[in-house]
Amino acid sequence: MDYFYYKLDKKKRQEWKNLANEMECKYFEEKQKRDYCDNFKTFQRGLNWECWNLIEGQNQGCNIAVMECFDESWTDEILPNFTACLLTKENLSLPSCYLRDKAFNFTFLKREVIMKKIKFENDTLFSNRFIVMTEDNNTQEMFSDSVRAEFIKHKEKKVVFESRGNQILLSQDGDVNIEKVRSIAKSAYHILNILQEYSPVQI
């Protein structure tokens, strides 16, 4: 059985390496920690998140990091994990906000108490599926019809989204195949492009 999982892991790492080559970025196979993750609430849910597969570089005018992360502090045999895409864009200035699927458990609540919840009364489909919280006053305007529609596409995928200044982070919980990794990165770029066209702050 160990050999079976070894083969699966080797196959996954090769797929990540191939994706990095396609994106003309670097691939890191060993466990990694990155300081740029510390500012995001996504990485504050566990005690010891580490990247087991990591792609970094420049792509489509952005600094990009695509990562598969596991919480090493977990005591169960199956470690909690998520896959995330972090995009950094020069001259972008977005409010700090945090969106999550309501399907998540409530381990987030302690950190959410200090944030203000935004309601979208005219979009019940979006409001019934997601919670949006912010530290700024101009976040609601950022979630235009097209931005909310993009998240609705992911309504069954336990998505988490964060924006902070010139960065956005889009993540999906659970084990995902390489095609879904591509899909997460593609969606992150799509959301970023929308936010560049429509934003309540100067870009």
Instruction: Please give the model's pTM, rounded to 2 decimal places.
Output: 0.85
Domain membership flag for residue 64: yes
Domain membership flag for residue 6: yes
What is the count of structural domains for the chain? Answer: 1
Residue with tokens 């079976």: 4
Domain membership flag for residue 170: yes
| Residue pLDDT tens, the chain, 203 long | 466 666 777 888 999 999 999 999 999 987 777 788 878 888 776 656 778 899 999 999 999 999 988 776 555 544 457 899 999 998 888 989 999 888 765 454 445 546 788 889 899 999 999 999 988 877 888 898 989 998 888 766 788 999 999 999 999 887 778 998 999 999 999 999 998 875 544 43
Domain membership flag for residue 203: no
Question: Could you tell me which of 36, 108, 98 has the C-alpha nearest to residue 66?
Answer: 36
Helix (H, G, I), strand (E, B) or coil at 34: coil
Range of the domain at 40: 2-197
Question: Could you tell me which of 23, 34, 88 has the C-alpha nearest to residue 62?
Answer: 88
Domain membership flag for residue 202: no
Q: What tokens were used for 199? A: 């934003």
